[in-house]
Chains A and B, each alone.
Chain A
Amino acid sequence: MKSTEEILAMIQAALPAAHVELVLNPSPSAQHSLRVAPADAFAVASFLRESVELALDYCSNVTGVDWPDKEITEKVKVTQLVDGEEKVVEETVKRIEPGCLEAVYHLYSMRRAHEAIAGPVVLRMRTVNRTDQVQLPSLTFVWRAAEFQEREIFDLFGIVFTGHPDLRRILMWDEFEDHPMRRDYVDPDDYEYEPTPHDEVLKRAEAQSKSAGVTA
Chain B
Amino acid sequence: MLGEGMLKGLAETAKNFAGSFVSKDRLTTVQYPEERAPVIENTRDFPFLVYDGADDASDEAKLAGLRCVACQICEKECPPKCIYIVKSTDKKPDYVGKPQIYPARFDIDISVCMSCQICVEVCPFEAIKMDTEFELSTTDRFGGLLYDREQLARSNQHYHKIHPTEAAEVDARLAEEKAKSEAKAKAAAEAAALKAAAAAAPKPVVPAAIEQKEPTA
Contacts and interface: CB of A to CB of B under 8 A. Distances in A.
Q: Do chains A and B touch in the complex (CB under 8 A)?
A: yes
Interface of A: 196, 198, 200-202, 204-205, 208-209, 216
B14 interface: no
Nearest to B111: A196
13 contacts: A196-B112, A196-B141, A198-B81, A198-B82, A198-B112, A201-B145, A202-B107, A202-B146, A205-B143, A205-B148, A208-B143, A209-B148, A216-B104
B95 interface: no
A205 B104 contact: no
Contacts of B109: 198, 201-202
Given A196-B111, A216-B104, 18 more contacts: A198-B82, A198-B84, A198-B109, A198-B112, A200-B142, A201-B109, A201-B146, A202-B84, A202-B107, A202-B146, A204-B142, A204-B143, A204-B146, A205-B107, A205-B146, A208-B143, A216-B86, A216-B105
Contacts of A196: 111-112, 141
Contacts of B104: 216
Do most interface residues of chain B lie in helix, strand or loop, or is the interface mixed? mixed
A209 B111 CA distance: 18
A191 B196 CA distance: 67
Contacts, number: 32
Nearest to A196: B111
Count class of interface residues, chain B: 10 to 19
B175 to A, nearest CB: 33
List the 8 closest pairs (A to B, CB-CB), nearest first: A216-B105, A204-B142, A205-B146, A208-B143, A201-B109, A216-B104, A201-B146, A201-B142
A206 to B, nearest CB: 10
Contacts of A201: 109, 111-112, 142, 145-146
Interface in B126-171: 141-143, 145-146, 148
Nearest to A207: B143
Contact of A205 (B81, B112, B142): B142
A209 B86 CA distance: 15
Contacts of B142: 200-201, 204-205
A204 B145 CA distance: 12
Contacts of A208: 143
Interface string B91-105: 000000000000011
Contacts of A202: 84, 107, 109, 146
A198 B82 CA distance: 7
A175 B143 CA distance: 36
A199 to B, nearest CB: 10
A208 B146 CA distance: 11
Contacts of A216: 86, 104-105
A200 B145 CA distance: 13
A202 B81 CA distance: 12
A202 B83 CA distance: 11
A196 B141 CA distance: 10
Nearest to A205: B146
Q: Which of B104, B107, B145 has the most CB of A within 10 A?
A: B107
Contacts of B107: 202, 205
A198 to B, nearest CB: 6
Interface in B52-110: 81-82, 84, 86, 104-105, 107, 109
Contacts of A204: 142-143, 146
A209 to B, nearest CB: 7
A188 to B, nearest CB: 19
A200 B143 CA distance: 11
A198 B110 CA distance: 10
Contacts of A198: 81-82, 84, 109, 112
A200 B81 CA distance: 13
Nearest to B141: A196
Contacts of B112: 196, 198, 201
Nearest to B112: A198
A201 B82 CA distance: 10
